[in-house]
Structure 1
């Protein structure tokens, strides 16, 4: 839908139903992405330091499957109620802006609900992602130091870079969005809205592009394999054979 808008330069079809559908899909997927990342970041602590928590089937359902399932279902229900079924003024849609102006009715109609949405559904999970990934590095290093174990720095460096990279990625992409949206609902500003709409709102798309490469780039020998294949494509091997006359 975003690519379709960027290609045309306007919303098509220009209808409130399409705008609500776009916002519902966008908000739901964004929230699911953040909640899943936060859940997995916390579960990583259990996998490393509390491995017995997943041995029994009931515990696996409680500590593993249930949080992941809730991270998927909760945003679908929440935004179905706040975006699709929330009473809306059709005149507020701007069909020349991305996502119809990114002005869901509940964001302007209920400031308390809007602030809670940005804080609880986005701000808190982003903080959990950063804290969980940073603390897991500290816990691993402290545990090895306490047991007087030698640190395999190549492996620890890879893990540290990956976790810090994920934390910085979510911090860089989501924190400006959360802060500006909360500020807009506390004290609206046209200048801040333009900055948010033209620049800040697009930062979250970086997660889709960078997160897979961030994870794959730190897989052992992946970079060597990638450069080897790129070099092979750039310099194809010439096969010389005999010619029969």
Structure 2
């Protein structure tokens, strides 16, 4: 894909994504009830990380696509860029994976787990902390202070090229990263969503314990919709990589750059997808728009009557 086209696509989607993110943040800031609900915490964290991606990390890639080179020719900048983007990508996957598991607690164990303080810490706060700790430490060790090799950066390649551990010891470390930080979270997201459907059907048909969908359908809809964003843009590259590693080394090798590029559409589309899972916010936006339109019509009518 042409670098100029990549830059244009990123710019087109970046602006509305930033605007929608700000609207959602204003909603949470002004609605204490919404931001205090534990079920919203994981989405708010994802959106904050996503916003950082949009306003700090994405411009670095856009600069490269528009200029064809790294604008800061400095090893420290390259280390920072690789650590920052990798951390944000993997944090998004891990937090989404945990959100997929946590939804089971909120839907099926809201009385027994989520209302007991110590259980709430064990099932809600500590897992989020562990996601941050694992990803940030892993990337810091292997990208910032690699104990097994020395980084060499190229200022004419995206992200200055790849960290040295990608090729160290015949690629064993990148294989570990691929399995632990990509395949495992994607597997959890996929199976947790499938298992949620099976679990609901099982409880309804076998045990005649129908879940109160009027109360919980919003949480279920949020999970399915938001997780589909991660699966849609991560799975193509992941499946292609698995096929290359196991069956056909040249599979989709010419499309590798494009498959990596489409991962940028996760932060670009996530705010808009999240917006559609908050009907109260959508109603407020629609009401505001209708009021503006009505005021404009009144203003136009007044001007016409004067003339």
TM-score by length of 1: 0.80
Deviation of 1:56 (Å): 3.0
The correspondence of residues 37-56 of structure 1 with structure 2, limited to 5 A, is: 37-51=96-110, 52-56=112-116
The correspondence of residues 151-190 of structure 1 with structure 2, limited to 5 A, is: 156=217, 161-182=221-242
- 1:94 maps to which residue? 154
Deviates more, 1:26-35 or 1:5-14: 5-14
Q: Deviations over 1:181-208 (max 9, x none)?
A: 45666799689555222x1112222111
- 1:24 maps to which residue? 83
Which residues of structure 2 form unaligned runs of 5+?
Answer: 1-59
SS of 2:297's equivalent in the other structure is coil
- From 175, 179, 189, give the equivalent of 1:129: 189
Whether the 8 Å contact between 2:165 and 2:174 is mirrored in structure 1 is: yes
Q: Deviations over 1:197-229 (max 9, x none)?
A: 2x1112222111222222221323554554554
What is the distance in 2 between the residues matched to 1:46 and 1:150?
Answer: 13
- 1:84 maps to which residue? 144
The alpha-carbon distance between structure 1 residues 59 and 225, as it changes in their structure 2 partners (threshold 3 A), is closer
Aligned: 1:5 with 2:64: yes
Whether the 8 Å contact between 2:87 and 2:136 is mirrored in structure 1 is: yes
Deviation of 1:21 (Å): 1.2
What is the distance in 1 between the residues matched to 2:69 and 2:249?
Answer: 24
What is the distance in 1 between the residues matched to 2:68 and 2:191?
Answer: 40
Q: Deviations over 1:159-178 (max 9, x none)?
A: 66543333332222112232
Whether the 8 Å contact between 2:237 and 2:256 is mirrored in structure 1 is: yes
SS of 1:53's equivalent in the other structure is coil
Deviation of 1:142 (Å): 3.6
The alpha-carbon distance between structure 1 residues 196 and 133, as it changes in their structure 2 partners (threshold 3 A), is same
> Root-mean-square deviation (CA), in Å?
3.3
The alpha-carbon distance between structure 1 residues 114 and 148, as it changes in their structure 2 partners (threshold 3 A), is closer
